Structure 1
Amino acid sequence: MDAVKAAGIGRTPQLCQDALIEMLEELFTGKKYNGQQGRKPLKIYKQDLPVPEDYDADVDTDAAAAPYIVARMTGGAIKDESGPQTVEFSLIVCAYDEGGAREGYQDVANIKEDIVQRVCTRPYFGGAFTILKPVVWAMQQDDTHPYYFGACTLTCTAPAMTQDTELEGLV
């Protein structure tokens, strides 16, 4: 993974997020989904959507973000000295469909399913990270037409910091 090699500082949750985004970009290369003004490639954002730089007039134009995934790091834990740390991610999926049949949820479901199939068949990514089971997903329950949402929650392992071996030698 390029980010791990370039950083030269070890493998951290931040690098795990970068590798997850890289894996998602590879997974969705060449695929198009419903967005404003037709089908277009899926955008993948780190942590949040970008801050809008224009007026609200762009909300329903091609300049808007949908379709997209936001890969949000939500937490983590180090359970003991010898195991890896876990890093939790929420992948928020959004599609856009103005049609009266309200079929935008199908793009969200297909994007979600591509993610689930990838992480279940190949849970390793970025050279140092593993996605654990269970993989949890949900579809929106509220009416936000023409926007449709879903989410996948992933728990990944990342190498943890180890206890200072110099201190262990003194004890």
Structure 2
Amino acid sequence: MTPLELQDALVTEIKRILKLYEYKTPAGERVPMNVFAQSIPIQETDEEEDPIPYVIVRLSSGENPLGKDSFNTVSVVLVIGIYDNNQDAQGYRDVSNVIQKVYERFSENPCLNYLASYVGDFQWALQEDNYYPYHFGACHMKFHIAAVRREDPLT
């Protein structure tokens, strides 16, 4: 599995995890979560619909320490965006629930498609500034994927 294949598998898995839930849009509808790889789509006109609610599955970094292990470690950041225009400003609760659902899924079963494994390093954060009615959060996760093995007969 490559980092891009990991990203695609995570997009599919996040959609599956959140398929039973609907979130508010700026138009007042309730819709399933949008899940995007790396960034939200570029809007070409002002008339295009706001992509919120969303989760962005962003590849952050990766490493193969000294090339000696049989796996690469890939860091992924999930960025969550929620719209909630209620006066009680509780949209952060939806963000927190999305983070919790992702955390529970990979803590209970770290395997992703039998090709990647969550390593247990989970960090999360909520926005500190007020962007009402938009609410944001993120979580950082690390996965192991298979590494390319050196085939040099002289080593």
Question: If the length of structure 1 is used for normalisation, what is the TM-score?
Answer: 0.85
Match of 1:136 among 107, 123, 137: 123
Contact 2:70 2:148 in 1 (8 A): no
Residues 93-112 of structure 1: matches in 2 within 5 Å?
93-112=80-99
CA drift at 1:104: 0.9
Runs of 4+ aligned structure 1 residues displaced above 3 Å come to: none
3-state SS, counterpart of residue 15 of structure 1: helix
Match of 1:72 among 58, 65, 86: 58
Take 1:35 and 1:104, find their aligned partners in 2: how far apart are those partners?
Answer: 12
Corresponding residue for 1:13? Answer: 3
Residues 91-170 of structure 1: matches in 2 within 5 Å?
91-164=78-151, 167-168=152-153, 170=154
The percentage of counterpart residues that share the same residue type is: 26
Q: How many residues are matched?
A: 153
Larger helix fraction of residues: 1
Whose radius of gyration is greater, 1 or 2?
1
3-state SS, counterpart of residue 155 of structure 1: strand
Structure 2 residue runs of 5 or longer lacking an equivalent are: none
Q: Does 1:81 align with 2:68?
A: yes
Take 1:29 and 1:104, find their aligned partners in 2: how far apart are those partners?
Answer: 19
Q: Does 1:51 align with 2:37?
A: no
Structure 1 residue runs of 5 or longer lacking an equivalent are: 1-10
Take 2:139 and 2:100, find their aligned partners in 1: how far apart are those partners?
Answer: 10
CA drift at 1:126: 2.0
- Taking only aligned residues, the RMSD between alpha carbons, in angstroms, comes to 1.3
